[in-house]
Amino acid sequence: MRLSPSMKPLGAGGFLACLLPLALCASWTATPFTPPSVPLAVRSPYLSAWLPQGTGTALNAAWPTFWTGSTLGWAGYVAVDGQAYVFLGAPGGVTGADQAFTATQSVFVLTAGAIDLTVTFLSPVEPTDLVKQSLPFSYLALSAAANDGKAHSVQVYTDISAEWVSGDNSLAVNWTTTTGSVLTHQVQLQQQNLYAEASDHIQQGAAYYSTTSSPSATFQTGRDVTVRQQFVTSKKLANTQDTAFRAVSDNWPVFAFAHDLGSTTTPTAPVVFTVGHVRDPAIQYIIAGGALQARSLYFWSQYATVAAAISSFIADYGNALTRAQQFDSNIHSAASKISSDYADIVYLSVRQTLGATELTVSKAPTGQWNTSDVLMFMKEISSDGNVNTVDVVFPSWPAFLYTNPALGKYLLLPLFEYQATGQYPNKWSVHDMGASYPKALGHNDESGNMLIMALSYTQKSGDTSLIDAYFGLLDQWTQFLISEALIPANQISTDDFAGSLANQTNLAIKGIVGIRAMAEIASLAGDTARSQNYSSIAASYVQQWQELALSSDGSHLTLAYGNSTSWGLAYNLYADKLLGLNLFPQSIYTTQAAWYTTVATPFGVPLDTRHTYTKSDWQIVTAAMLQSTSTATRDLLVSGVHAFASAAISSNTEPLGDWYETSGGATEGFRARPVVGGHLALLTI
């Protein structure tokens, strides 16, 4: 899927026109489509850089943004035979860019005079390597090739601003540059504030911008216009450091590198830069007795210093790219078995899901890293800052089941451990681990989700440790479901923005599946009597539910019992298929598959009859549940989500949203949330 220069559909002539005003540059290609925002460096809640798109925006026509939409200064120039062109950011000057994205990479090819510059943003996805997955760094690689067969002198330049370390540009920062085999600029807030956020940026730790040293590499720190002009004029930097520490926006200090690629005709070996944001400790976590534990990113168990982690990460670029291409190729071929629309959606969803998470480790009392104690934390992102929210973990769950179920276990463990300490008073499961990331301090519904996730983890991994350790809690939540599931009280559900409602058909499904899931768990634990009891309760509930849940003419499931004009996405039936239970009769699936074709819009099927908006994650989950019933309905749902993701309308500039309007495809405001992990649901059945 990488766009190679030879695949470029426009000739050099077309790109040369793009050195003139932007208006002439409207015709680059975006593969597979123009998403609302292109992921550039997306690895953690605090390393999250995007290029807003709307109807399509070139890499050098806008500043990258943090997921919230605030600017992240990230600039790049390429000089060709003495003439400088902007390739990244909006410091002035314009060329055009072809762009393409995969699950792990966003690749731009820009023509600057007689050379084509390939700009690769690689955010590794390393689900089976805890050290690599936990490294909060991302790559930028540049390679130049002549487009006229002649030799040209090429230099490249790039910088970041201090916007990478704060949500408040009036705060003071300081910085240092270290030289050696790797050149690294480090910048941080002078006033460090442990575990605190400002506008969703962490106010702790430092940003790191690095490149490999060489005789032709130069660096400089200083005022933005000064440092950039230095390159534009001299094609190299002064190897000087500005030590007048000041606020982020006070004469905008930038942290820059340049490389002289010499004279080139054939494509150059990539020049590699890495950008990262590291803090330590990373997460504050509540343990038994209400004590608070400081947890670190997992990579610390391998590297003693940030410098050692960066050296290893930068040296690994070639291998990381090979692994990324393999990952992209594997997931693309699996998703393409559903459809090409589906493969596109999956590509756009992977980095975003994992980029909301962090893998952590604790220290034993001896000071040694305890690598048996691995916990993963997820920030809800944009809807609020809750930690490991069960109704956000649950929709994202397919991404973990597919890429590595163990990550799912690390994500569930904080919830199980916390409730096992007895600090949570209710007989049902907790909703989240705390109101504001990165403080996982506990909080006060989600029993069915926990049972479904615990059993699906166990089935996919073959590891019974979770259900063995927490059998008591799982059984406790089942009692709650046995008393409450069939006739759900007036309550909000996962889709809390849609309002509360009594007797929700879809909520009842989840509770009933939860009871039956516990029957399976009991069976795996050898408790046959309990298993048979819960199995028969679940079967009896399904019988009663059918009487309550269908519309009077039998054409569809209702949204709420007894209201025949209501309907909705009954996505909780996905769990029946995922767990292989076959608890609900096939007739229900056949009915729903037919019904959705009668209510679909070009942007898919509304979430329910209360509103015209919908959820992308629940549509794909519904597509997965109908996969074996109707490929036509499956494809209809997938194409609705694809239409939204690729709508390229001016109002959609935010990292992919999951909540959108079916009339017109505008996003409803949620953005960059890990729930798009639910887009991998069709890969889990």
- Where does this chain bind ligand NAG (CB under 6 A)? 174, 176, 188, 190, 192, 364, 370, 372-373, 479, 482, 487, 490, 502-503, 533, 548, 559, 561-563, 565-566, 609-610
Tell the smallest beta-carbon distance from residue 562 to ligand NAG (Å).
6
Neighbour tally for 30: CB within 10 Å:
19
The separation between CA 340 and the C-alpha centre of its own chain, rounded to angstroms, equals 21
Shortest Å, Cβ 548 to ligand NAG = 5
Distance CA 540, CA 532 (A): 12
Bridge-partner residues for 209, per DSSP?
A: 185, 275
Nearer to ligand NAG, 156 or 278 (CB): 278
Token code pair at residue 191: 């006033």
User: 458-489 burial by CB neighbour count: b if 16+ within 10 A, else e?
Assistant: bbbbeeeebbeebbebbbbbbebbbebbbebe
Polymer length in residues for the chain: 685
The stretches of 265-386 forming alpha helices (DSSP H) are 306-315, 317-336, 340-354
User: Tokens standing for 448?
Assistant: 């069915």
Q: Which is nearer to ligand NAG, 356 or 537 (CB)?
A: 537
Distance CA 75, CA 168 (A): 20
Closest to ligand NAG by CB, 498 vs 625, is 498
Q: Closer to ligand NAG by CB, 264 or 503: give it.
A: 503
Between CA 685 and CA 681 the distance in angstroms is 7
d(CA 214, CA 622): 53
The nearest distance, CB 465 to ligand NAG, in angstroms, is 11
**Cα→Cα distances 31→101, 155, 347, 429, 471, Å:** 6, 28, 11, 43, 47
- What does the alpha-carbon distance between residue 583 and residue 519 come to, in Å, rounded to a whole number? 12
The residue among 175 and 603 lying less far from ligand NAG, judged by its C-beta, is 175
Query: Which residue, 90, 109, 85, 89, is CA-closest to 99?
Result: 109
Closer to ligand NAG by CB, 100 or 130: give it: 130
Residue nearer to ligand NAG on the CB measure, 341 or 417? 417
Q: Report, in Å, the least distance between residue 478 CB and ligand NAG.
A: 7
Closest contact distance (angstroms) between CB of 142 and ligand NAG is: 29
Helix, strand, coil % in the chain, rounded to nearest 5:
35, 25, 35
Q: Please, what is the minimum distance in Å from the beta carbon of residue 666 to ligand NAG?
A: 22
Which helix (H) or strand (E) segment holds residue 49: the answer is strand 47-52
Secondary structure (3-state) at 25: helix
Nearer CB in complex with ligand NAG: 543/565: 565
Alpha-helical segments (H) within 492-630? 505-524, 528-549, 573-578, 586-599, 616-625
Nearer to ligand NAG, 405 or 568 (CB): 568
The least CB distance from residue 5 to ligand NAG, in Å, is 43
Closest CB to ligand NAG among residues 259, 295: 295
Q: How far is the CB of 210 from ligand NAG (least distance, A)?
A: 17
| Whether the bond into 438 is cis, omega within 30 of 0 | yes
For ligand NAG, the closer CB: 58 or 518? 518
Q: Shortest distance, CB of residue 185 to ligand NAG, whole angstroms?
A: 12
Single-letter code of the amino acid located at 380: E
Nearer to ligand NAG, 181 or 190 (CB): 190
Give least dist CB 612 to ligand NAG, A.
11
How many C-alpha atoms does 492 have within 13 Å on its Cβ side? 9
Rounded (5°) CA angle 179-182-184: 65
Alpha carbons 156 and 489: distance in angstroms, whole number: 62
**Nearest to 679, CA basis, from 573, 582, 574, 592:** 574
Query: Pairing relation of β-strands 439-440 and 283-286?
Result: parallel
Minimum distance, C-beta of residue 364 to ligand NAG, in the bound complex (Å): 4
Structure tokens at 103: 């699950």
The nearest distance, CB 127 to ligand NAG, in angstroms, is 21
